[in-house]
Amino acid sequence: MVGESGTQAVMFYTDMPVGRLEPAEVDRRLVALFGEQATVCIEREIILDLLTRLDLPLEAKSDGNFDFVAIVQAAKKAASTP
């Protein structure tokens, strides 16, 4: 899943509308398509891109306590505060 075409393929096969799903639903659909281990790798890249685009500190640590939903929610909160 590299680049725009990979992203479009995943969006198609998981039937994900862009920007319209809650993080938990995105996680569920990715796990259904890729399995748990691959999903963690994909979600880490999503988080890295999200935090970079929002110019937020990179908090997605590789210590096994990775929580995609919590990080996305924290990023939303941080991006909405002045």
Region of 67 (left: φ > 0; alpha: ψ -120 to 50; beta: rest) is beta
- Residue 31: both structure tokens together: 């796990």
> Which tens digits make up the pLDDT trace of 4-36?
777 777 778 777 777 677 899 989 999 998 999
44 or 1, higher pLDDT: 44
Query: In this predicted structure, what is the pLDDT of residue 12?
Result: 81
Alpha-carbon span 69 to 78, nearest angstrom:
14
pTM to 2 decimal places:
0.77
> Which tens digits make up the pLDDT trace of 20-77?
778 999 899 999 989 999 999 989 888 888 888 888 887 645 455 789 999 888 888 8
How many residues make up the chain in this entry?
A: 82
Q: Give the helix/strand (H/E) hosting 71.
A: helix 68-80
DSSP tag of 58: -
